[in-house]
Amino acid sequence: DYESLSLWPERIVIAAPQDHPIAKKPFVLWRDLADEALLMSCHGFGPELKKMMTANATETGSSLRVEEHAADDEALLSLVAAGRGLVLLSSGAVREGNPDLAYLELRDTMGTSWVTFYACWKKEHNNPALASFLGMLRTHRSMVSSVPVPDT
């Protein structure tokens, strides 16, 4: 009953306090998160990241300590800077300029961990505004896909 349009991929990164041992690594593996408190928003992108975390923990045979908060990314990053845990973010949510935080790429056994954003809508929806919006998304997607994704 639904259609979807793949929009763009983003890398998954970890935000850690600058003085945390994990911040010294060149990148983070899912198994490196086994003993860490992972702060997660129960809003926005948080539930999707939680599913991804659960799937990777199951695959690696580890357990994760997830703390859910009714907070946005900025509030979670403040908790990270205060040493309360780590946060997973899409690379598009990274806000540079906080010297107390380090951002590290998250990898799995295949390499960089990615998330792809999609637009979804009901098939029978023939709203002209939706058609216009989807046209704009397709144009944006073609511009984004022409930018090469670096190999990591």
Name residue, tokens 């408190």: 37
Whole-prediction pTM: 0.76
pLDDT digits (tens, 9 = 90+) for 53-83: 777 766 666 677 888 888 888 899 999 999 9
Name residue, tokens 């199951």: 58
pLDDT digits (tens, 9 = 90+) for 78-123: 999 999 999 998 888 887 778 889 999 999 878 888 888 888 888 8
Helices within 5-146 (DSSP H only): 46-60, 73-81, 128-145
The H or E element that residue 78 is part of is helix 73-81
pLDDT at 144: 64
